[in-house]
Structure formats: structure tokens, C-alpha cells
Chains A and B, each alone.
Chain A
Amino acid sequence: MNGATLTRLEPGALAGTVGRAVRSGARFGGLFAFPVAERIVLRGVLVRPGGLAMIEATLPPGARTYPALTPTVPAASWYEREIHDLVGIEPAGHPRLDPLVLPIHGREGTGEIVVPVTWAEVELDDRALATHASGEGLLTIPYGPVRSGVYEAIEYLVETPGEDIPHVRTRVYHKHRGIQARFENLPVDDAVLLAERVEGVASVAHALAFCQAVEQLAGVVVPGPAALVRVLHAELERVANHLDSVVRHTEGAGQAVAHARMTLHKERVLRLQARLCGHRFARGVVVPGGVAHAPRMSAPDALGALAQLEGGLRADARLLMDTPSFLDRLRGTGVIDPEVAAAHGGLGPVGRGSGSRDDARCARPYGAYAGQLALAGPASRDEGDALARQHVRLAEIWDSLALARRSLELLADMHDPRFRAHTPPADGLALAWAEAPQGEVLYIVEIEGGRVARAKPRSASFHNLVLFPAAFHTDIFTDFSFIEASFGLSIAGVSG
């Protein structure tokens, strides 16, 4: 395995080893379960300043339980609940093993993902963290999964005495699609297309992480021009996603003109993607070994379109960040304490708005970020409120536009016609990563006989949503939409 170290240990040693690593400064990156023949293989990811480490523990045949990580590493809570749902083994000692993505119990535990026979409406107590509010006059308002506006399906249970929101719970199972199972046995080329649909608004980042895993195994280095085109599309995707967050903020604040302006800029980004590659979400661009084709626009045309976009956007952003009635809605709203964010390992703008300086493009650079398009440093703020997250996003938008411009300039100077290296699928196990707009995306990919035997995506949305209730302190109903927009998550990536 390249790119990350692999340590094998006994299931009993998992909690101790990961606990020690986290106490000594590593970030918990996730824990996943894979049915392999008659056994369950657990694979955990630790992120250290020096790089990623994967730990693997194989349960003995027939074993249905292992000592849970969550008591020592609370950030593992959702991962272990997901494992419990998907492969039916029990993390013994987990404080709260409620269903997360599949609220169906009593399935035959064979290590296989079992088809539910009937789907019952299940009433769940779905606290995201091990706290809940109680008191006189407190009521729970369910909000979702069909919500006002055009949003993805998620259910929030808002616990409130009327105006304040002391606590929010989330239910994410409604749109669970069985993605991990769907990856099994797909040809590699088809699996890339599936990766693009795991979290559709971050198609490029997901395809990138998946392809980097395939390329690691094949020992292929992506040709220079292809690496530049990958950055171009990944950064435009970041701009579109960050603008989406701004759009939702302006909508919530009732800034009608700003809202119209920001939706126009977002439309321009999607159209630029389409003109460059034929798809508004840049699907089909990233393929194993490089990219499918050269940009379809000439460099001067593309640079002109970028300049037009940036000119209008900068003027509007300057004005927006100088509009008190807008800033007042974000300042002090949805504060995530930097200590809480660090303990959980908050990713992307959610983590970086609360003091984290972890951006995979800088800390663990890949592709052109490791060479010609190195980023000076991550955007980071310490305040932890929605405004800090907005500042981080705006700073990243300017960085992204600069990276996109630079990649186009470098491409124009390059006379290397190679956009794709021959990449026959090579068997093995790989862990790869990419920085999506929402934060770090991880892919554990196992290839056998030229097909994907198993693959598991971990989107930043899944990891970050756990922090959502932690953002409610003195916040009231009207703050809800701002806090949600400032997280900027995709529920498709959470539900899996």
C-alpha cells in the first residue's frame, strides 16, 4: 500500500491503539467495516502531520462483536453506529448504539449487508451527541425530511421551549442509498462514475480521491497537463459550493439583490464548468490515469470568463461583507468552540472556522498541489461562528480562482499532449484523499481481479454533521438556517 502506512492488530487492541494516537495529537479519520469472505475487517484511519495511517483489525470467523472505540475516542460514535447498521456487528461498550443510516434491527448477522424485507416507520431517539435537553415546557419540533425549499432530505428534531434552541437532533437515514454495497464488484471505470454520485455537488473531489487510490495501486503518475486540469475543475467546484453557502446566507438574511447576484455568480461557475468539459458538475472529467480530455475552451477564452466572474464576484462580496444587516445575522451565530471542533476533528470550512489549519491541499498535497500549484497556506479563523466560516469560504474562493487561473496559464504554456496515462487496474488495498469543498474526502479502495472488491467513501459531510448540535448555544429559531448554511454539507454524503 502506498500513500499511507498500514498496521495490522488484534480487534482487542484497536481502542487502546487509536486512543493513544489521538491523545498524542493524531486526528481520528474514521472507522469502517468490510465483509471479507466469512470475516469482518475493520479499517481505521488516523491523520498525523506526517501523513495518513491505516490500521486494520480482522474479527475471527463468526465473531459478532469487538470492543468499541467510542468510549475512548468519542469522534468514532457515528462510525461505529454506521458499522452496526451496515454489517450487523456490535461495538461492545458503545454508549448509544441507535440506528443511524439503517433503522432496522433484528437482521440475521451473517456479515453480509442484508436486504430488509419490510420497511417499518421507526421512531428513533437520534441524539447526535450524548446529551439531551429536558425541562418544563420543552417540546420537540420535527423538521423534515420534506422541508420548505429545495433541499436534500434530512430530518431535524428541534428541541425548544419556544424560541431558543437548546438542542437539535438529526436523522439522516431517509436517503441512505447503500453506496458502500453498490461499489462491490463494479469495474473500476464504472466505480469512478459511482464515486461522482456519492456526493453529487462534490463530484470532482470524490472522483479524484477514488482515482488516486486506483493510481496508487497501479503505480501510475498522472501526466502534468492532466494534474492541472484536475485542479482547474476541483477549484471551480469549490467556488460553486462556497457560493452556494453564501447564496443560502443571503436568502436567509432577506438580501434580495445580493441573493440574486450570488445565484448569478454560481450559475456562471457551473456554465464555465460545462463549457470547459461538457458537464455542469464536471462529471466524466477525472478518470484513472488522468482526465478524459483537454479543456474544450481556449486558454484566453477560459481566462476571460474567469476574470469576468472574479470581477463581478469581488465587487459583490466586498459590498456584502460591508452590509451590517447581513453581518449581524452571522456574527456570533452558531459558535463551535475551537476545543470542541479540535476534539472531534472538524473538517473543511467548519473546522477551519474554529481554528483548524488542516487543509489536505497544504498538509497532504496531492497532484499539482504538490508541485506547480502549491497553496501558500490554509484559510483559517478562530472565532468559530457562522461569520468565521463565511470568511474562510470567501478566502478560499479567491485562492481557488487564483489556482484555476494559474492552472490555465500553465496549461497554455505546456505542449505536452498527454492527458491520460494508461492505468490497468492493479489489485491491492489503497487509502486516498482529496480536499472537497466540504472538507477532506477519504476513499478506502480494494481491487481484486481488476474490479472493485470493496470501496468505502468517507465524505467530510458525514464527519462534520456530528458537530451540528454543538453549534447551538444561545441561538434561536431564526438562526437555524444560517447555522445550517454555514455548515455547507451535502446530505447525500452523510447518508451514504
Chain B
Amino acid sequence: MPWITRGLREGIVTTRYPARPDDYGESWRGAVGLVDQGHPGAGSGEGSTKDLTALCPTGAIGVEGGRLRLDRGRCILCGRCVGAAPGIFCWSSSPEVAGLARQALVVGAELGGDDKALGMLRAELARRTRSLRRSVHIRHVDAGSDGAEEWEIAALLNPVYDVHRLGIFFTASPRHADILLATGVGSAGMVGPLRRTLESMPDPKVVIAAGADAISGGLVHPTYVTSGGIGSLVPVDVWIPGSPPSPFSLLHGILLALGLLPGCRPTTAPGPVADAPEQAGGAPGQAPDVQEPDRRTL
């Protein structure tokens, strides 16, 4: 009985994300960005761009065609580049950093034809995940993480993120899972278990690589037992950068996979089956705008 009052006294702590932006989610470092994406690195000579690429411990900074490129899939958010060249690199506070293609994580890259390819990728994924939008079950697999990713994934279940409100659940059995959420560098000992888990999942299924280690191997790769990310082991649909990705970044990536982000919903109905009409307030991305009590600041 006393527990009930302990819980009630706190008030509501749950975020309204994704229906509304979250102040906390926007308040700290989500990723590194380029100050001026349109121009080559400070218009400088080759010597200094070489220095810039040497700044990064994971090789996330590169130069292509005289333009700086920053690969968020490699970035471990150490901030060394922002500290050394604040006129070129900056912190980006948005936690919405996940991408549907490995290439989409590269800042400063020419998208060009890739833009169309990305659109097709999005449509294909949307078709696959249409039946999962109202209730999705996630199976997490640690494929050689440092342990911090597991904390951030588990945090999605705490009262602040409370992903059950969005119809997102974690499941023990891969047989009940729709999404494989994998972390870690793809250690040799987890290659078999990771593949078997994916094979055990029923179709349609989605694979999410969470964290720089899972995307590119991060700082831990290369060694004699790492794969440089899980992308070489299983087909990945959504890539979530971060070291580790914050709960907001993870949530964004999961919603991206499901096509449930406000403003990012698929506008076309590419599938052979006609899209069922959305019920009012039934979709997590569009929570009805009802009067709500004040939320507690954490």
C-alpha cells in the first residue's frame, strides 16, 4: 500500500516523444555535425584536411572530392574534432540520428541518386512493417557490446520512456519477435547465435544495428575476433549511431523502422494490400491531443 502513494506522489514523468519533441532529448549531444555542410573543410589546403582526418580515433572523418565527410556510423562521440576545430565540427543536439541506409549516416556526402534509393528503401521497409505498427515485439541480442548499450535499451522500459505506451514490447523468444535489435562489434563467438536468432524469427522481420560498435566496429574493431559491425553478418534495415545510443535515439530508430515518426510516415501505399485506414489516436506517432496533467521535470 505505501508503494502506491510513493508512485503517485511523483506525478507523470513519461515523455511525450514522439508526439512532441522532448526538451531533455534535445538538450545534449546526440551526434557530431559539420558547421557548414555545403563547403569543403574550411576551404583549406590539403595539409589541413589531412590533419582533420587524423583527429578522429575511429576514422569517421574523411575527404572525398575535396569535401569533408563525417561518418556517424563510425563516430564514438569523443568530441575530439569539435574541440580541435570548432569552426568545422559541431555538436548536434537532436537524438534523431538513425538512418535507413549505412550511407545515410555520412554527413556531407552527396546524396544525388541515393536520395531516390533511400525513398525506395523507406517504402519497402514500410510495406514490410505495416502489420507491426500497432504492436511490435523486439528481441535484443548482444553481439559483443561493451555493456552500456544494454542499459540504454533496458531504459526504454522505465517510466520515462515507457515504450509499452507505443505498443513496443520486448520478448524472450525469437519466435515471437518482429525486430532484432543487435548491439556490439559482432564478436566471433556471437556470429552463430546472432544468425540463429534471426533465422528463428517469423517474417516479416526487421534488423536494427544499435550503436557505433554494431554499425562499424567503433573503436574496438579491428581485432582477431571482431567483425566490424553486424552488417557483414546479417542484413541490417536501420542503423542507430551512438556510443552508446541514448534511449531517445533508440526509440527514434525503432519508430523509423515502423514508419511511425510524425512527418515521416509513408505517403504512398506501395504494397499490394490496401493500407487499412488509421483509427483516430490509434497510432503511436499521433497521440490524440487531449488535456494532460503537467509533467514532472526530472
Contact = CB atoms under 8 A, between A and B. Distances in A.
A227 B166 CA distance: 43
B150 A121 contact: no
Interface size on A, as a range, is 35 or more
With most chain B CB atoms within 10 A of its CB, the pick from A114, A199, A203, A281 is A281
Contacts, number: 181
Interface in A64-104: 102-103
A312 B79 CA distance: 34
A260 interface: yes
With most chain B CB atoms within 10 A of its CB, the pick from A114, A150, A173, A281 is A150
B78 A175 contact: no
A175 B189 contact: yes
A493 interface: yes
B160 A176 contact: no
A283 interface: yes
Contacts of A261: 3, 6-7, 10
B145 A175 contact: yes
Given A116-B188, A146-B197, A174-B193, A264 B57 contact: no
B224 A178 contact: yes
Interface string A249-264: 0000001011011011
A292 B4 CA distance: 43
B88 interface: no
Given A121-B192, A316-B6, A492 B76 contact: no
Contact of A116 (B153, B218, B225): B225
Given A146-B197, A193-B219, A201-B148, A283 B243 contact: yes
B142 interface: yes
B172 interface: yes
A319 interface: yes
Interface SS, B side: loop
Contacts of B76: 193
A274 B163 CA distance: 22
B28 A150 contact: no
A197 B220 contact: yes
A198 B223 contact: no
Contacts of B188: 116, 119, 176
Interface in A267-305: 267-268, 270-271, 274-275, 278-281, 283-284
Interface residues of B, number: 65
A315 interface: yes
B69 to A, nearest CB: 21
B158 A266 contact: yes
Interface string B59-96: 00000000000000000111110000000000100000
A244 B151 CA distance: 9
A150 B243 CA distance: 17
Contact of B223 (A181, A263, A268, A275): A181
A11 B157 CA distance: 52
With most chain A CB atoms within 10 A of its CB, the pick from B10, B159, B188, B190 is B188
A275 B140 CA distance: 28
B226 interface: yes
B71 to A, nearest CB: 17
Contacts of A131: none
Interface string A469-496: 0000000000000000000001111010
Nearest to A493: B147
A150 B170 contact: yes
Contact of A152 (B79, B142, B220): B142
A152 B145 contact: yes
Given A152-B142, A201-B151, A257 B4 contact: yes
Interface string B36-49: 00000000000000
Given A116-B225, A177-B187, A150 B140 contact: yes
A176 B225 contact: yes
Interface in A371-403: none
A187 to B, nearest CB: 8
A100 to B, nearest CB: 12
A390 B167 CA distance: 34
A204 to B, nearest CB: 12
B35 interface: no
Given A244-B151, A257-B4, A257-B6, A153 B193 contact: yes
Contacts of A194: 219-220
A278 B150 contact: no
A189 B56 CA distance: 11
B259 interface: no
Contacts of B129: none
B145 A200 contact: yes
A422 interface: no
Contacts of B152: 280
Contacts of B157: 263
With most chain A CB atoms within 10 A of its CB, the pick from B190, B218, B224, B246 is B224
A190 interface: yes
A284 B75 CA distance: 13
B29 interface: yes
Contacts of B272: none
Given A116-B188, A152-B142, A177-B185, A257 B3 contact: yes
Contacts of A148: 172-173
A175 B6 contact: no
Interface string A151-188: 11100000000000000000001111111011000010
A130 interface: no
Contacts of A102: 225
Given A175-B142, A258-B3, A316-B6, A275 B218 contact: no
A115 B222 CA distance: 11
Interface in B125-172: 139-155, 157-160, 170, 172
Given A177-B223, A258-B3, A145 B190 contact: yes
Contacts of A270: 151, 155
B220 A199 contact: no
B146 A174 contact: no
A109 to B, nearest CB: 15
A113 interface: yes
Nearest to A492: B147
B191 interface: yes
A174 B79 CA distance: 31
Contact of A193 (B78, B149, B158): B78
A182 B223 contact: yes
What are the 6 A-B residue pairs with the smallest beta carbon separation, nearest first?
A178-B223, A200-B146, A200-B148, A148-B172, A263-B158, A174-B189
Given A121-B192, A153-B143, 10 more contacts: A116-B188, A149-B170, A174-B144, A174-B190, A182-B220, A197-B213, A264-B158, A267-B155, A267-B160, A284-B78
20 contacts: A113-B224, A116-B225, A145-B189, A146-B139, A153-B144, A173-B189, A174-B187, A175-B190, A176-B187, A178-B225, A178-B226, A179-B220, A190-B57, A197-B213, A200-B147, A200-B148, A257-B6, A264-B158, A268-B298, A271-B298
Interface of A: 102-103, 113-116, 119, 121, 145-153, 173-179, 181-182, 187, 189-190, 193-194, 197-201, 203, 244, 255, 257-258, 260-261, 263-264, 266-268, 270-271, 274-275, 278-281, 283-284, 312, 315-316, 319, 323, 490-493, 495
